Amino acid sequence: MNKILIKLIFTFITVSVFIGCSSEQPTVVKTEIVTDTTIVKKTVATGSIVPRKEVNVKSQVSGIVEKLYVVAGMQVKEGDVIAKIKIIPNMLNLANAENRLNAAQINYDNSKIEFDRNKSLLDQSVISKQEFQQYELRLKTTNEEVEAAKNQLQIIKEGVAKSSLQSSNTLVKSTISGMILDVPIKEGGQVIESNTFNEGTTICSVANMSEMIFEGKLDESEVGKINMGNSIELTIGAIDKIKFNATLEYISPKGINEAGAMQFVIKAKINTGTTDATFLRAGYSANADIILAKKEKVLAVSESVLQFEGDKTFVEVLIGENKYEKRFVKTGLSDAIVTEVVEGLKKGEKIKVPTLANPNES
């Protein structure tokens, strides 16, 4: 009896295993519907928002900052006084100027003596007026030399001559109208004049904040794809809820080698209407989506459904229940996610998604 029971159990297990092995799981085929969509092909550049016009205001004389009249964030107009510089004269130049003044004074004193003596002779009709004119001219010339030497000495001491007190170069003035962005120097700090051999000390930087631009860099593999006038959509990190429109207006003709890769500077004008309600600060980081091409309401499918045979592209179109037709298509613009179908498909048709692909829609 036990032997019969064991045989029945064994037979049942064998049949169950056989049935389980022979049953097949149904194959699930996923499809995608051909639809109208907008395709935008673009490349991305990183950079920042900067003023179109920004200048560093520097001193024309060397010395100590006696007074600062501005702070960062202030609005100034062209010609407004930024700072006052106290001259610290160079001792060699000071000594030379004093020596020149002394020599000029001696020449003047001598010419004055000759002038007075010959004036007396002219009054006595001993010499002619024509002879006297040379002494008169010499007196005037030596007097001018004295005044020039005095002015030079005063310039070295105070940075300004008596004849031009209102245009003193000890007063540093703004060269443009705009906002003070930065004041890197403090009262009491030393400044060096701007000249041919030295850039000079920056008193402050001033910028016109009403006209901002995007300035960024693009890799050499992408720069050949863009053109002047391309539309740009800016995403600013600090203002992520607003998109700003811009127009590409500059592409550097020369690349910069950064870590072994050539980068090209690009600049884009931010369209005025997009910034009216938002204050853009200089230095905001931004990403620029540069639109290379755009098509609206075109038939398109996901890149994942496209299959290839040699240099031809095809898809499998559902034509009946679980029946698919291989159909060659002509493609157009692609953004690497969806591709335009120019010929071969109609709106609403269902396309088989290959098993290894990741479908967007099932």
Q: Are 174 and 57 in contact (CB under 8 A)?
A: yes
* Cβ neighbours of residue 340 closer than 8 Å, sequence gap 6 or more: 39, 295, 298, 299, 300, 331, 332, 333, 334
Torsion angle in degrees (nearest 10) through CA of 310, 314, 315, 318 = -120
pLDDT-based confidence at residue 167 (cuts at 50, 70, 90) = very low
Q: With bands split at pLDDT 50, 70 and 90, how would you rate the model's confidence at 11?
A: low
Residues 281-307 have a mean pLDDT of 90
CB 340 within 8 A of CB 349: no
What number of CA atoms fall less than 13 Å from residue 148's CA on the CB side?
10
Average pLDDT, the chain: 84
C-alpha span between 134 and 165 (Å, rounded): 34
Average pLDDT over residues 227-231: 91
Query: CB of 45 within 8 A of CB of 267?
Result: no
71 has a pLDDT exceeding 90: yes
Cα–Cα distance list, 139 to 23, 108, 109, 146, 211 (Å): 128, 6, 9, 11, 59
pLDDT digits (tens, 9 = 90+) for 25-65: 555 678 889 889 999 888 889 999 999 999 999 988 888 99
In single-letter form, the type of residue at position 87 comes to I
- Residue 221 clears pLDDT 50, i.e. is over it: yes
Which pLDDT tens digit goes with each residue over 104-159?
A: 999 999 999 999 988 888 888 888 888 889 988 999 999 999 888 888 787 777 66
> To which H or E segment does residue 191 belong?
strand 190-191
Closest CA to 330 of 339, 317, 338: 339
Query: Would you say residue 202 has pLDDT above 90?
Result: yes
* 295 CB neighbour count, 10 Å cutoff: 15
Start-end of H helices in the chain: 2-22, 91-123, 129-158, 220-223
Rounded to whole angstroms, how far apart are CA atoms 216 and 251?
Answer: 10
Kindly state the tokens that stand for 350. 């269902």
The mean pLDDT of 280-309, rounded to a whole number, is 90
Q: Is residue 196's pLDDT more than 90?
A: no
Of 46, 328, 72, 31, which is closest to residue 186 (Cα–Cα)?
72
How far apart, in whole angstroms, are the C-alpha atoms of residue 165 and residue 188?
Answer: 23
Q: Can you tell me whether residue 75 is helix, strand or coil?
A: strand
